[in-house]
Structure 1
Amino acid sequence: MEINFTALLLAAITTLFAGFIWYHPSVFGTIWMRENNFTKEYLSKGNMLKIFGFTYLFSLMITIPLMSLTIHQSGAIGMVGGPPLIESAKPSFQAFMADYGMAFRTFKHGALHGFMAGLFFALPVLGINALFERKSWKLIFIHGGYWILVLTLMGGIICQFA
């Protein structure tokens, strides 16, 4: 199983495109600003190169574990010691990969696993932080919804193309 790094780079950029739409003032941006007590003037002072650059870097970091969650063959590869040891794996591994190497490798399947990662991992993590920070439920659901959407899209892209 070859890793398509272009697919990972593409999946990572979805956070920026989805965020542009999700946090746009005509979608959830106005509510997000109000719930955080942000003003346009305050937000305009941010270093956008740093914000977008680190967002993309962190998004690339997310693609690695998401690949393991969405591509089931990753577990089989891990059982033989990872990509460096595939060539020396027993014939049973080669037979398994010949039979099932592309099983469940669809956008739909990856999107399902990405959705579950968003719902059962990202949303609770964000929710816990927000509760201790005394943030509103609106903010929890805005951020949680965003990450559910993004992880769904990322999972689909990764599973289909990586």
Structure 2
Amino acid sequence: MEINFYAFLISAVVTLVVGFIWYNPKVFGTIWMKENNFTQEDLKNGNMLKIFGFTYIFALMISMTLMSLTIHQSGAVGMVGGPPLIASAKPSFAAFMADYGTAYRTFKHGALHGFMSGLFFAFPLIGINGLFERKSWKYIFIHAGYWMVSLTLMGGIICAFA
């Protein structure tokens, strides 16, 4: 199972593209700013290189994790010790990969697992933080929705092309 690292680089860009759309004032940006007590002037004062640079790095970390959640064959590769040890794996591994090496490697399958990651992992994390920070449900749903859409697209890209 060869890994296409370009898929990870592209899937990480998804967080930025979806964010530009999702947090646009014509979509949810105005509500998001109101829920955070931000003004347009507040947003202009941030270090954009730092914000977008770290966002991309964190998104790369997420995309690498999504591989294990969306590509079931990565579990089999992990069982033999990872890519460096595939050549010395037992014949049963080669037989398994011959039978199932490309099973469920579609955008649709990865999108399903990405969405489930958003719904059952990102949403609860955001919800817990939002509740303790005394944020509104609007705030929680805006961020959770963003992550559900982003993880759905990222999962699809990773599963189909990585």
Taking structure 2 as the reference length, what is the TM-score of the superposition? Answer: 0.99
Residue aligning to 1:43: 43
Paired AA for residue 25 in structure 1:
P
Residue aligning to 1:58: 58
RMSD (Å) for aligned C-alpha atoms? 0.4
Residue aligning to 1:126: 126
Residue aligning to 1:33: 33
1:90 aligns with 2:128: no
Structure 2 unaligned runs (5+)?
A: none
Distance (Å, rounded) in 2 between the aligned partners of 1:31 and 1:11 = 27
Q: Secondary structure at the match of 2:77?
A: helix
**Structure 1 vs Structure 2: percent identity of aligned residues?**
78
Paired AA for residue 17 in structure 1:
V
Aligned ranges for residues 1-12 of structure 1 at < 5 Å?
1-12=1-12
Listed one character per residue, the Cα deviations across residues 61-118 of structure 1 (whole Å, up to 9, x for unaligned) are 0011110000000111111111111000011100110111000000000000000000
Distance (Å, rounded) in 1 between the aligned partners of 2:61 and 2:75 = 19
Structure 1 unaligned runs (5+)?
A: none
Distance (Å, rounded) in 1 between the aligned partners of 2:63 and 2:27 = 26
Give structure 1 regions of 4+ aligned residues with deviation exceeding 4 angstroms. Answer: none
Listed one character per residue, the Cα deviations across residues 112-138 of structure 1 (whole Å, up to 9, x for unaligned) are 000000000000000000100000000
Q: CA deviation at 1:34?
A: 0.3
Distance (Å, rounded) in 2 between the aligned partners of 1:106 and 1:41 = 43
Distance (Å, rounded) in 2 between the aligned partners of 1:91 and 1:143 = 46
Distance (Å, rounded) in 2 between the aligned partners of 1:42 and 1:114 = 32
* Count of matched residue pairs: 162
Aligned ranges for residues 81-160 of structure 1 at < 5 Å?
81-160=81-160
Distance (Å, rounded) in 1 between the aligned partners of 2:142 and 2:22 = 9
